[in-house]
């Protein structure tokens, strides 16, 4: 950033109707939300406006608060924090006017390049970016053109490549579930960057190209979910958003619905239960109007979880609808065609827990655990942790310890931020019971894990 006044930032402040002091307060509040402590006052903002470059983590916080205030994504280039709108601005651009194919190539390329990976960590999860147009837009292609074609793109792409992508989606999903997303994420990013983007730029018939776009959208969704499971929430949001955009270009309403549902679920998992997140869950169910019953059940189950924070009757209605739809069809196995029974009961538990029914939630989690397939290792481990937490809340310490012991036995086999969060929660919840002999033994075992 040049040593000249940052007029871009000043314009954004005027648009936000904020003074420098108000911006500083917002930055400190967002830092506190993220567990950070920063020193930021009116004099700090004045230095930024005069052209001083903010030091990390200030750029990410600054973009985060401006995006939240303006209800739209604000890029580093727009805020005057970057002189070069090259790869970085396209990576951060979540507008529906951007080219999703270019963004996918830039995202995965930056994810794989150690010299550019820091760009991906500069953003923060944004509720403003959850806004999805009512109409399916046709994006304007980037004036810089599409990313360079790989050698693989010289031939035609068709049914064989589509089948390969479906097989790879199953393999990546199964590997992430068995071992945690941390071990699989980089491999999937490489496959998308080196192979899939080549297929998408290769000559193909109209129907084949749509199926390739659908496959890319589904793989991007998987990658986004793996990033979320690895604690990279802002990057996960970019992949999810890109997947939804690719699905619109493919005219694939089912994958689009799954993408919206995934975006809403991700926000919920981060503790956001706002009307905007609920609206996204509702949009997902609306998009399943012509989808298979199993997909409708998938969307309705999450809608029930979200409604539980707003309207009890609506939550129970959605939950009943989901269970009724689930009984109508048994789909073929696959990460985008099958909804495990254990997952349905897990979301029933989430709904009941949000409604204050701990007993019902405990029963649903017990059923979910019983129905988990052997390959659902991560889901089974997380379900067991949630069951232990629910049992302890009901005063059943001994039963909770039994489940937590199994959780600790399985924990080292998974590389997942979600399981790490449950480990930290276990330590905190059991700390008041640390004088209990069995609890002390469990806490000592947990102290050796990271």
The conformational region for residue 395 under phi > 0 = left, psi -120 to 50 = alpha, else beta, is: left
Q: Give the mean model confidence (pLDDT) for residues 275-284.
A: 94
More confident residue, 158 or 346: 346
pLDDT in tens, 254-265: 999 999 999 999
Domain match, 72 and 213 both:
no
Domain termination site, one of 197, 232, 251: 251
Q: Is residue 302 part of a domain?
A: no
- Residue at 153 is within a domain: yes
Q: Which of helix, strand or coil describes residue 74?
A: coil
- 160 with 229, same domain: the answer is yes
CATH code, domain carrying 23: 1.10.260
Are 170 and 197 members of one domain?
yes
Q: Give me the helix-helix angle, 275-287 and 253-269, nearest 10°.
A: 160
Residue-averaged pLDDT of the chain: 87
Q: Give the separation between CA 295 and CA 446, rounded to whole angstroms.
A: 38
Burial grade of 280 (CB within 10 A; 0-12, 13-18, 19 or more): buried
Q: Verify that 77 and 12 share a domain, yes or no.
A: yes
Q: Are residues 67 and 193 in the same domain?
A: no
Domain ends where: 199, 226, 251?
251
Q: What is the pTM of this model?
A: 0.78
Q: Are residues 91 and 81 in the same domain?
A: no
Q: Is 201 found in the same domain as 220?
A: yes
Q: How many helices (H) and strands (E) would you count in the chain?
A: 22, 0
3-state secondary structure of 421: helix
- For the chain, the domain total comes to 2
Rounded Cα distance, 146 and 166, in Å? 24
Look at residue 52 and tell me if it is in a domain: yes
> Is residue 119 domain-shared with residue 55, that is, in the same domain?
no
* Range name among 49-53, 138-142, 269-273 with the lowest pLDDT average: 138-142
The answer on 29 and 103 residing in a single domain is: no
Q: What is the pLDDT of residue 71?
A: 67
Domain with 181, as residue range(s), is 86-126+146-251
Q: Which range among 54-58, 150-154, 217-221, 278-282 shows the weakest confidence by mean pLDDT?
A: 150-154
Q: Is the pLDDT of residue 139 over 50?
A: no
Query: Model confidence at 123, in pLDDT bands (50, 70, 90)?
Result: low
Task: For residue 69, give the 3-state DSSP assignment.
Answer: helix
pLDDT at 204 over 50: yes
Question: Is 380 a residue whose pLDDT tops 60?
Answer: yes
Tokens of 206: 């109209």
Which residues neighbour 49 within 8 Å (Cβ) at sequence distance 6 or greater? 5, 6, 9, 10, 13, 20
CA dist 152 to 109, 197, 210, 285, 381, Å? 17, 9, 18, 38, 40
| Residues 58 and 113 occupy one common structural domain | no
Query: Are residues 116 and 73 both part of a single domain?
Result: no
* 37 compared with 87, residue with greater pLDDT: 37
229/133: higher pLDDT: 229
Assess if residue 343 is contained within a domain: no
Tens of pLDDT along 307-323? 999 999 999 999 999 99
Do 57 and 154 lie in one domain? The reply is no
What confidence tier does 372 reach under pLDDT thresholds 50, 70, 90?
A: very high
Give the domain-ending residue among 227, 251, 275: 251
What are the pLDDT digits (tens) for 84-114?
444 444 555 666 667 888 889 888 988 888 7
Higher-pLDDT residue of 147, 61: 61
**CA-wise closest residue to 377 among 189, 178, 220:** 178
**Residue 153 pLDDT > 60:** no
Instruction: Say what the pLDDT of residue 149 is.
Output: 40
């Amino acid at each position: 950033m040049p040593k000249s006044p940052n007029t871009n930032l000043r314009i954004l402040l005027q648009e936000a109707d904020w003074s420098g002091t108000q911006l500083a307060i917002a930055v400190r509040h967002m830092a506190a939300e993220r567990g950070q402590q920063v020193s930021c006052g009116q004099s700090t903002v004045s230095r930024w406006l005069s052209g001083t470059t903010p030091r990390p983590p200030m750029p990410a916080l600054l973009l985060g608060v401006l995006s939240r205030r303006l209800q739209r994504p604000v890029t580093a280039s727009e805020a005057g924090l970057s002189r070069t709108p090259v790869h970085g601005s396209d990576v951060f651009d979540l507008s529906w006017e951007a080219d999703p194919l270019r963004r996918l190539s830039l995202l995965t390329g930056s994810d794989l390049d150690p010299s550019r990976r820091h760009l991906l960590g500069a953003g923060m999860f944004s509720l403003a970016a959850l806004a999805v147009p009512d109409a399916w837009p046709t994006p304007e292609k980037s004036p810089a053109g599409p990313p360079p074609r790989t050698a693989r793109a010289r031939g035609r792409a068709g049914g064989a490549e589509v089948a390969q992508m479906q097989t790879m989606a199953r393999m990546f999903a199964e590997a992430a579930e068995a071992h945690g997303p941390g071990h699989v994420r980089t491999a999937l990013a490489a496959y998308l960057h080196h192979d899939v983007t080549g297929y998408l730029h290769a000559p193909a018939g109209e129907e084949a190209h749509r199926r390739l776009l659908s496959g890319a959208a589904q793989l991007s969704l998987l990658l986004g979910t793996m990033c979320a499971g690895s604690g990279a929430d802002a990057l996960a949001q970019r992949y999810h958003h890109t997947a939804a955009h690719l699905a619109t270009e493919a005219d694939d309403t089912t994958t689009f619905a799954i993408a919206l549902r995934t975006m809403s679920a991700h926000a919920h998992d981060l503790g956001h239960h706002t009307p905007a997140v609920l609206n996204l869950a509702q949009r997902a169910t609306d998009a399943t109007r012509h989808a298979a019953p199993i997909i409708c059940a998938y969307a309705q189950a999450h809608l029930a979880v979200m409604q539980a924070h707003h309207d009890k009757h609506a939550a129970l209605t959605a939950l009943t609808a989901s269970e009724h739809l689930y009984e109508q069809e048994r789909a073929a196995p696959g990460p985008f065609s099958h909804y495990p029974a254990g997952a349905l009961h897990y979301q029933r538990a989430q709904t009941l827990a949000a409604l204050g029914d701990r007993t019902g939630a405990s029963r649903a989690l017990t059923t979910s655990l019983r129905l988990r397939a052997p390959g659902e290792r991560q889901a089974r481990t997380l379900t067991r942790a949630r069951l232990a937490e629910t049992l302890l809340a009901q005063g059943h310490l001994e039963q909770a310890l039994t489940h937590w012991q199994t959780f600790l036995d399985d924990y080292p086999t998974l590389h997942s931020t979600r399981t790490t969060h449950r480990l930290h929660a276990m330590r905190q919840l059991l700390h008041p019971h640390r004088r209990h002999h069995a609890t002390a033994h469990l806490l000592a075992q947990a102290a050796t894990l990271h």
